[in-house]
Every structure is written in C-alpha cells, then in structure tokens.
Amino acid sequence: MKRIVFSVGFSSLLVFSACTQKLSAIVKDAERQTAVLLSEIPNAREGKANLVSPRTVEEGKLKLVASGDWTSGFFPGELWYFYELTGDQKWKQKADSFTRLIEKEKLNGVTHDMGFKIYCSFGNGYRLTKDPYYKEVIIQSAKTLITRYRPVTGAIRSWDHHKEKWQFPVIIDNMMNLELLFEATKLTGDSSFYKIAVAHANTTMKNHFRDNYSTWHVVEYDTITGKVRSKVTHQGYSDESEWARGQAWALYGYTMCYRETKDPVYLRQAENVADYLLKHPAMPADAVPYWDFKDPGIPSVSRDASAAAVIASGLYELSGYSMQKKTYKAFADKIMNSLTKSYRSAIGENKGFILIHSTGNKPANSEIDVPINYADYYYLEALLRKR
C-alpha cells in the first residue's frame, strides 16, 4: 500500500514539475517581450511627459496614454505580476516607478474607472509590499469613487459623456471597480465602502442580465426615480447582442464579489454566467471568443484575446469556490493553452506586447485585432492563478 501511495504521489510531483517548467518558460518569454516594450517607451514618450503607460499599437506605432485613461493602471499591474512571478527586484523597481505616475488619479472624480487605474497598480503594489504609501492612495481613491454613488439608483455612475443621451449610465465593466471598495473597508474598517459595493452589485444583478445570463453593456437609470430608462450594448454589435468582454467582466466581477462577501447569491450568479459562456454555441473551438457572440459575420470576424484572458482568470478563481471546479479549471486551461500557443507575439514584435488579436471598440472602429495592455494584464494574472 505504501508503494502505491508513493507511486501516485511521485507521478503527481512529476506532472507538477512539468507544469512549473512550462510556466517558467512562458514567463521568461513574457519578460523578454516586456523588456522590448520598456525599451520602446522612451521614444514614444519623447516630448509628451504627460503620457505614462503603453496601451496598444496604432498604425505601427506604440500608443501611450495619460494617467486619466481607463487603461493606465494595467501596465504597472503587469510589472507587479512579473515581480510576483519571479521575485526579481528589477520588476519591483519598475512597477513602483510606473505606479507612482498614476497617483494623481486618486482625486479624479469624473470617472468610475478607479479600480482599473488604481487597484491594478497601487492595489497590487500594496498587496505585495504593504507600503503605506500605496495604502493611502487606495483609500483616497475609494473615497473619490463613492462620490459617484447615488442611493436613488443604488449604483455608481459610470460615464459622464453623452449627457444628452443618458441620464445615469451604468456599464457592466463597473463591476470590476468594486474590488477597490472592498479593499478600502478592510484597510480602514469603514463599512460604507463595502455597503456601496454590495448595493451596486445587487442593482447590476437585478437589471443588467437577460434570462440566459448574458448581459447588456449599459443600463440607464432615471436620476429622480431611480427606475431603468433603457438598456443598450454600446460596444457590441447591437443592443440585444452579447459583447464578449462584457460577459467576461460579469463573470470576473461576481466571482470577486463572492470572494469578498461569501454571499452565495454572487457565487450562483458567477456560476450561471460561467455556464452560459462554456455552453455558448458561438464559442469557438479554441475558446477564444469572437468580439461579440451575436455578430452575424461569425466566423469571419475578429476575436478578443482580452475577453479570453479575463474569462480564464475569472474561471481559475471561481474553480476554487464552486462544486464545478474541474469543469471551470479545464476550460480556463483550454483558453490559456490557446492564448499561449496561437495568440502570443513573437519576441520583439508588436512593440513588446505579449498577446495579439484583441478587440477594443469595434462599433467605433477602434483597436480592432491589435495587442492591448489589459489583455496582457489578465493573461499574467491567469498564469499566477493557474500556478
């Protein structure tokens, strides 16, 4: 009997060792590629000191963005993930340097994207170092974010643009910013952040989802009554279509809400969204979604590697909470195998971005079939969660 146990244990150890070696090689390739990106940044920034983070490649040139851009926190977050994956101090130093460039956003109250900008950068920095400087920025950012909450709607306002069109728009992406509020309650003991996060999650769960657990992109509320005025899919093929990245935000967001609250309602919601995705008839064989599941041009339409990376990362976490652990983990593995095999840049190409074939905003003809920073961020996060 002891020999059988030893044999199984040794076999498992060999499998684990092989996976670790493969992961190590993937991370090394990603490090080499990101070193290329770092070398490209000074030229792209020349004469434009306000630009802080690489976002994508546009017409063959590296595009940098200012701290106010919703994607500014992803690249610092990638650098923190490299530090976590490797323990190499050079990544810690680079991460700190790029993170500090975004600090002023802690007072930017005209955007809901505080979680994307601050939690992906300062949040990871604090998690890995416990530096009180990062903690202060996280807390102030949460204070700024909750100024956009209105009790009458039970939600945090997303966009301030298109005021002639929408009274109080809330987008499914906003679920991703709640993690910042949950963290602020843990750091301060002030439950108001937590309560607002829960209220927003509940309102979104009530109004954003269709019967099949797909989600609209935007739900607009009346500022006086709090009632729903309209439901649209601004970045999808049509209002009734199923924009892939929106579905990914929903999966990830409710998985995170379950982690932070342990409310089984959120776990069921995450599982329902996961099951909808896993069984979707338009999900490609390689599990990297088309940009919109209802685009009538499928299969001759662009993919979205960023949506795939978000789904994989969300499924790895969800597998730790759900009775369907093996199913969710297997699908996440399938996504990651596909991204790693067929959606990575060759070393030195695409200005140093890791993944290719993401779709930003197709209706606006913006960032179609390009590398993009949030795809790389969630790919690295998924690698960490897989490990």
Mean residue pLDDT of the chain comes to 94
Residue 19 banded pLDDT, cuts 50, 70, 90: low
32-36's contacts with Cβ under 8 Å and 24+ in sequence apart are 32/347, 33/345, 33/347, 33/348, 33/352, 33/353, 33/354, 34/78, 34/79, 34/82, 34/352, 34/354, 35/352, 36/347, 36/348, 36/351, 36/352
- Which residue ranges make up each domain of the chain? 21-386
Residue 304 banded pLDDT, cuts 50, 70, 90: very high
Residue 18 banded pLDDT, cuts 50, 70, 90: low
Q: Which amino acid makes up residue 201?
A: A
The two structure tokens encoding residue 270: 């995450």
The verdict on whether 304 is a catalytic residue reads no
Q: Which residues make Cβ contacts (< 8 Å) with residue 18, sequence separation at least 6?
A: none
* Active-site pick, 173, 292, 304, 376: 173
The verdict on whether 173 is a catalytic residue reads yes
> Mean per-residue pLDDT for 303-328?
98
335-340's contacts with Cβ under 8 Å and 24+ in sequence apart are 335/287, 335/288, 335/308, 335/309, 335/311, 335/382, 336/312, 336/379, 336/382, 336/383, 336/386, 338/286, 338/287, 338/288, 338/308, 339/288, 339/305, 339/308, 339/309, 339/312, 339/379, 340/26
User: By CB neighbour count within 10 A (0-12 exposed, 13-18 middle, 19+ buried), where does 230 fall?
Assistant: middle
371: which DSSP letter?
A: -
Please write the tens of the pLDDT for every residue from 225-255. 999 999 999 999 999 999 999 999 999 999 9
**Most distant CA pair in the chain, distance:** 74
Please write the tens of the pLDDT for every residue from 285-298. 999 999 999 999 99
Please write the tens of the pLDDT for every residue from 352-374. 999 999 999 999 999 999 999 99
The two structure tokens encoding residue 23: 């992961």
- pLDDT tops 70 at residue 14: no
Note the pLDDT of residue 7.
38
Q: Which residues make Cβ contacts (< 8 Å) with residue 309, sequence separation at least 6?
A: 335, 339, 355, 374, 375, 376, 377, 378, 379, 381, 382
Note the pLDDT of residue 61.
97
CATH class of this structure's domain 21-386: mainly alpha
Alpha helices in 174-304 (DSSP H): 178-188, 191-207, 244-261, 264-278
Q: Which amino acid makes up residue 225?
A: T
* Active-site pick, 69, 96, 113, 376: 113
Query: With pLDDT > 70 as the criterion, what percentage of the chain qualifies?
Result: 95
Angstrom distance (rounded) from CA 123 to CA 143:
15
Taking CA atoms, 84 is separated from 62, 91, 192, 198, 201, in Å, by 26, 9, 31, 30, 30
